[in-house]
């Protein structure tokens, strides 16, 4: 994997408009300042039992192999900074999968290629000739991401000194199909054919290919698998391995892990898996049958010639239901009957709404089909807005920067007219000009500074888009307000090309002389900025909706929302209506987006007693959290164990998390198994056993703690902390929801880990977990995983680190991994129940020692 996670380049020039794609923060959270004398691995958010590099950016785990007593962890690494770029292989080793030693850079990028994800094997029989029979080589199989043309091909490097130094093979690449989306080879020895087996991804096609080789150099194509399961994003970092079912070595099934981004179960990145059989050439997934949604009362099926009593605004939805695709649109599928709501009329440049009559909520769920663009509703936005009255400081019209002063080469000699060569579609600017520092790509840098002016109004408003690299972080892309030469306000983009309003409250600076400086000091992914229409006003500019969504309105407020997955195929979605039973509501289908995928599809609104499930919900996931991606397993682990690890981050906001001088962490290694649970074979995981060696000797304990509609702090010093290992068993009483709140006590902050008995789901709610406003998709929603109780009990294993929680439910079939960034003072643990009573039968909580001491 390891290309920057961005949509495919748009090909259509969008007219300038205020409707935009992504909302942006005017005052994003920069990483907490780290004192120059802060010892490494003691920083505020530094994980204490998860691997992180001492500094710089890290993403996918690579080259996982065990050799001569060492577990090797290679990983995607930027040796030049803590944002994505210059991808190379970092390296760490461990003897127990718990304590890690970071080693020097293993495989470096060079002038021709970046070193993307891959795997490593021990060539025991020296089939490559890179070593000797007495000193077999370690061979890395990686993706060469060529800088010229963007081609991706598979290449080799080898080491004969236990992975300490590496030599790239002179015959690279060893597989080249001329593709720009062909990556992440996972290689293993396949004993039945005495040959090497490669599993590799055709990412954009949602396929996995299998190749065979006798010497790691010459490869033959065996077969392909896919598309299947969830396909809402690119397929990356595949892994194929056998496991015994329920520990029976006579019953073997194969697991194919396919990481997907975006389109994961919790949004953004995730690790999907398939269970099936592999015959040496072909993987066949088990047939899960066809899906039939729950019965219900159809409220709107769009089968008429018009919208009936539903009302429209704008022009996006046309005069009535569509019968499929409209002019200029790709093939539309997945709708029911002959008609659907389709906002692609006249292309993505149109906007509008389609609203139902008011109705009384009388069923538990509202099921419907939706598709189109992936642009979620964002609270606090407005449907339309012209700029407020005020004084324009710069509109970047007229073909020049006027009195503004440029340095470097990112800004060129004049404002841009819109999208630049090689750039995704830029939208949301006003008029014909804007600042766009994508000149010659992300590699250029510079500043653009305004003439001095006097602050004489309450707000400075402006449109901003581009990369999310806040002022104060390494290599920023930011708009800064300078007073007396000091930065007093700043804003950055949100890794989206669309511009949206940002606003600074400058009432306290009235009468001050100031300048505005636009800074692009970043040459990595999203290393550019878009800026337009900078003005002073006594009115704060409100961000404009950019959603393509289906919303439920109660009392005029959006209380439920769903969006498409950048796909013309409609899929089932469901709103939980139980909190609104008896209330008046409306359904509103909204298209406020004029950029790429700026349209929405909807059909078959049905009131039902059970929720419909989407393809994503029906897929199988190794982890249901926001932050578990690029999951791959170790080869050659002792005792035939299968250990897996994933990048503990999400491409939606991975470049924005508030950590420094490092960015990126790995999950705890997990031991994988296949178990029959509720009649179905499922992949399960549990933390590697060695983690228990970090436990302090005396745990905090609790037993038979009964709570009713309340939250109760747990006492004892060991029941508090930033770094905890908790085992808890709850008995089901009549509570609707129950569980534990961790990292509590600092200004109302909490991370809620619980069980919803009404839906039989494990959940993690991090919406109040601490710093959540550094990116608009970080705190959205509650992560859930299906979990059936066992003998009337729910068992949880919870790992709490300084910036993460990992929750293992039941036998490990329900796992949720989420990053959190709480105040260090928040160390409390509470037991809670909502809607009734629960009993915490037994709990043990250990403080964990740091692996860095």
- Cα–Cα distance for residue pair 645/628, rounded to 1 Å: 9
| 3-state DSSP assignment of residue 447 | strand
Distances (CA, A) of 294 to 1, 288, 581: 38, 17, 19
CA dihedral in degrees (385, 388, 394, 398; nearest 10)? 60
Return the beta strands (E) in 555-599 as ranges. Answer: 557-563, 567-576, 584-591
Burial 333-350 (b: 16+ CB within 10 A, else e): ebbbeebbbbbbbebbbb
In the β-sheet with 751-756, what is the strand arrangement from edge to edge?
A: 711-713, 828-834, 737-744, 751-756, 761-765, 783-786
- Cα–Cα distance for residue pair 817/427, rounded to 1 Å: 34
- Cα–Cα distance for residue pair 619/297, rounded to 1 Å: 26
Residue 531's H or E segment, with its range, is: strand 529-537
Give the chain's radius of gyration (CA, Å).
27
Return the beta strands (E) in 609-679 as ranges. Answer: 620-621, 629-633, 643-647, 662-663, 670-677
Distances (CA, A) of 4 to 84, 91, 263, 579: 7, 21, 16, 40
- Report which of 488, 438, 506 is spatially closest to residue 466, judged by C-alpha positions: 438
Phi, psi for residue 473 in degrees, rounded to 5: -90, 170
Residue 618's H or E segment, with its range, is: helix 615-618
Q: Give the number of other Cβ atoms within 10 Å of residue 169's Cβ.
A: 18
- Cα–Cα distance for residue pair 537/320, rounded to 1 Å: 41
Catalytic residue among 37, 60, 96, 248: 60
- Cα–Cα distance for residue pair 604/332, rounded to 1 Å: 15
- Report which of 758, 741, 739, 759 is spatially closest to residue 750, judged by C-alpha positions: 741
Strand-pairing partners, residue 446, are 408, 520
- Cα–Cα distance for residue pair 345/416, rounded to 1 Å: 29
Q: What is the DSSP letter of 387?
A: P
Residues 813 and 678 sit within 8 Å (Cβ to Cβ): no
For β-strands 662-663 and 56-67, DSSP reports them as: parallel
- Report which of 108, 48, 44, 104 is spatially closest to residue 78, judged by C-alpha positions: 108
627 is catalytic: no
Phi, psi for residue 618 in degrees, rounded to 5: -85, -15
> How many H-runs (helices) and E-runs (strands) does the chain carry?
1, 56
- Report which of 670, 669, 666 is spatially closest to residue 686, judged by C-alpha positions: 670
Strand-pairing partners, residue 482, are 487, 515
- Cα–Cα distance for residue pair 772/131, rounded to 1 Å: 50
- For the chain, the distance separating the N- and C-terminal CA atoms, rounded to the nearest angstrom, is 33
Active site residues: 60
């Amino acid at each position: 994997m390891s290309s920057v996670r961005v949509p495919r380049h748009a090909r259509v020039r969008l007219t300038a408009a205020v409707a935009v794609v992504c909302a942006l923060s005017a005052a994003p959270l920069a990483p907490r300042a780290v004192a120059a004398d802060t010892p490494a691995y003691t920083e505020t958010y530094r994980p204490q039992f998860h691997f992180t590099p001492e500094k710089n950016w890290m993403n996918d785990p690579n080259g996982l192999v065990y050799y001569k007593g060492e577990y090797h962890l290679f990983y995607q690494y930027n040796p030049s900074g803590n944002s994505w770029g210059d991808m190379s292989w970092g390296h760490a080793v461990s003897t127990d999968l718990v304590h890690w030693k970071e080693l020097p850079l293993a495989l470096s990028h060079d002038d021709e290629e970046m070193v993307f994800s891959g795997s490593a094997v021990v060539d025991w029989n020296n089939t490559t000739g890179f070593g000797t029979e007495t000193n077999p080589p370690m061979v890395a199989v990686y993706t060469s991401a060529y800088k010229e043309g963007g081609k991706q091909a598979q290449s080799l490097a080898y080491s004969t000194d236990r992975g300490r130094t590496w030599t790239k093979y002179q015959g690279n690449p060893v597989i080249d199909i001329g593709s720009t989306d062909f990556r992440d080879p996972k290689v293993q020895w396949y004993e039945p054919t005495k040959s090497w087996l490669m599993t590799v991804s055709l990412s954009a096609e949602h396929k996995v290919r299998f190749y065979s080789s006798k010497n790691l150099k010459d490869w033959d194509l065996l077969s392909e698998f896919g598309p299947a399961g969830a396909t809402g994003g690119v397929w990356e970092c595949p892994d194929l391995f056998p496991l015994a079912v329920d520990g029976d070595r006579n019953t073997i099934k194969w697991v194919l892990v396919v990481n997907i981004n975006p389109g994961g179960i919790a949004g953004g990145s995730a690790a999907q898996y398939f269970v099936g059989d592999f015959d040496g050439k072909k993987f066949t997934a088990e047939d899960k049958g066809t899906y039939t949604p729950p019965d219900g009362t159809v409220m709107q099926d769009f089968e008429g010639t018009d919208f009936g009593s539903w009302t429209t605004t704008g022009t996006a939805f046309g005069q009535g239901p569509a019968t499929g695709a409209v002019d200029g649109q790709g093939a539309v599928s997945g709708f029911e009957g002959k008609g659907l709501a389709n906002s692609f009329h006249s292309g993505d440049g149109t906007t509008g709404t389609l609203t139902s009559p008011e109705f009384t909520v009388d069923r538990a769920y509202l099921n419907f089909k939706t598709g189109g663009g992936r642009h979620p509703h964002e609270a606090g936005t407005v449907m339309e807005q012209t700029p407020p009255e005020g004084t324009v400081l710069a509109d970047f019209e007229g073909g020049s920067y006027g009195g503004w002063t440029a340095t470097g080469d990112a800004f060129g000699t004049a404002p841009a007219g819109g999208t630049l060569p090689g750039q995704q579609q830029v939208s949301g600017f006003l008029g014909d000009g804007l600042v766009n520092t994508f000149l010659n790509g992300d590699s250029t840098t510079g500043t653009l500074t305004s003439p001095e002016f006097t602050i004489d109004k309450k707000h400075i408003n402006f449109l901003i888009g581009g990369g999310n690299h806040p002022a104060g972080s390494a290599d920023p892309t930011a708009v800064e307000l300078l007073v007396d030469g000091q930065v007093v306000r700043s804003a950055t983009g949100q890794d989206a090309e669309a511009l949206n309003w940002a606003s600074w409250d400058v009432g306290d600076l009235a009468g001050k002389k100031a300048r505005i400086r636009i800074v692009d000091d970043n040459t990595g992914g999203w290393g550019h900025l878009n800026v337009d229409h900078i003005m002073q006003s006594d009115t704060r500019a409100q961000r404009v909706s950019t959603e393509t969504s289906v919303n439920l309105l109660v009392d005029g407020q959006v209380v439920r929302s769903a969006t498409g997955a950048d796909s013309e195929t409609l899929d089932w979605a469901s709103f939980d209506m139980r909190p609104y039973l008896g209330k008046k509501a409306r359904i509103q289908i909204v298209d406020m987006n004029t950029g790429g995928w700026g349209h929405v599809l909807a059909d078959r609104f049905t009131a039902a007693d059970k929720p419909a499930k989407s393809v994503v919900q029906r897929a199988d996931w190794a982890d249901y959290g926001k932050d578990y991606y690029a999951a791959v397993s170790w080869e050659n682990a002792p005792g035939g164990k299968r250990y897996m690890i994933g990048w503990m981050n999400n491409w939606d906001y991975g470049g924005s998390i508030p950590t420094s001088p490092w960015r990126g962490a790995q999950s705890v290694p997990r031991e994988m198994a296949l178990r029959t649970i509720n009649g179905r074979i499922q992949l399960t995981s549990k933390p590697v056993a060695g983690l228990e060696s970090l436990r302090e000797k005396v745990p905090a304990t609790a037993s038979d703690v009964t709570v009713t509609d309340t939250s109760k702090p747990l006492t004892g010093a060991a029941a508090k902390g930033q770094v905890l290992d908790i085992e808890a068993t709850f008995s089901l009483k009549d509570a609707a929801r129950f569980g534990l709140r961790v990292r509590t006590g600092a200004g109302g902050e909490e991370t809620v880990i619980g069980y919803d008995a009404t839906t039989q789901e494990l959940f993690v709610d991090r919406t109040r977990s601490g710093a959540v406003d550094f990116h608009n998709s970080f705190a959205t929603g509650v992560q859930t995983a299906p979990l059936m109780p066992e003998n009337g009990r729910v068992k949880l294993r919870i790992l709490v680190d300084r910036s993460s929680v990992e929750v293992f439910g039941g036998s490990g079939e329900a796992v949720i991994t989420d990053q959190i960034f709480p105040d260090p003072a928040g160390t409390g643990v509470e037991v809670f129940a909502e809607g009734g009573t629960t009993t915490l039968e037994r709990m043990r909580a250990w403080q964990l020692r740091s692996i860095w001491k």
